[in-house]
Amino acid sequence: MRKYELIRSEIVTMQNRSNVKGILSSILTLPSRPAAVFIKIDLPEYEVLRAQVFLEDLSEKLEDAFQLTIVDLIALLLKDFLHVASTTTKMEKLKDSLLEKKAQFLSKTERIEEFVEVTPAHSSLRVRDKPRRIRYFTLELTIPRKTALRLEIVLYDLEQLFKSFRMSVEELVSIVFLEFVHHLKIGKQKDMIKRFIQCFG
């Protein structure tokens, strides 16, 4: 998806609506906008599998009353992100958090420290970036237009406030998902299951 494509589209639609006046407005109908936006994101295969196992565990706890997919999970996570971003988070804190998570989750390299022998009796610590060996799974998502537009607006606001900030909707969606999986990895699966059961149980 091109940068701020939805924002531009929304502004053009608003301008077109305001230009159609009087009797013409009842005769002319403007083309309808698609209700959803299609995006593709690349996620580490293992992280997608971990999320899938979580959803299966959740389904068992709910006695198969709900069968959530990865796409459903991402939709819920985005809804939660937008709620938090619009109600409780200061913009500078949000910017710092997103940039930190982008470096943590989306970097194609990892920083490693290793001792290198300089002389037979002396070693030196060297820090270098090493490419991560990760296989990726391409996930194709259809996001409600309203949600995608709100995500774009959050990113646009951050970019206007902080000139060094750059992030695409695809990167943001990936970060929201990978942060959730990170919580599962560090042992918060039970808390997550409880939270989801409260929503669906």
Residue 169 has pLDDT above 60, yes or no: yes
pLDDT score recorded for residue 23? 47
The strand pair at 109-119 and 122-131 is best described as antiparallel
What tens digit of pLDDT does each residue of 67-104 get? 888 998 898 899 889 988 888 778 999 999 999 999 99
Weakest-pLDDT range from 9-13, 24-28, 194-198: 24-28
Beta carbons of 143 and 36 less than 8 angstroms apart: yes
What tens digit of pLDDT does each residue of 180-189 get? 999 988 887 7
Beta carbons of 123 and 117 less than 8 angstroms apart: yes
Q: Within 10 A of 188 (CB to CB), how many other CB atoms are there? A: 14
What tens digit of pLDDT does each residue of 106-125 get? 988 777 777 777 788 788 87
Residue 21 has pLDDT above 60, yes or no: no
Q: What global pTM score does this model have?
A: 0.77
Residue type, 192: M
Provide the token pair at 112: 């490693």
Beta carbons of 158 and 102 less than 8 angstroms apart: no
Which residue ranges make up each domain of the chain? 37-105+134-201
**What is the length of the chain?**
201
Query: Which residue, 91, 108, 74, 89, is CA-closest to 157?
Result: 91
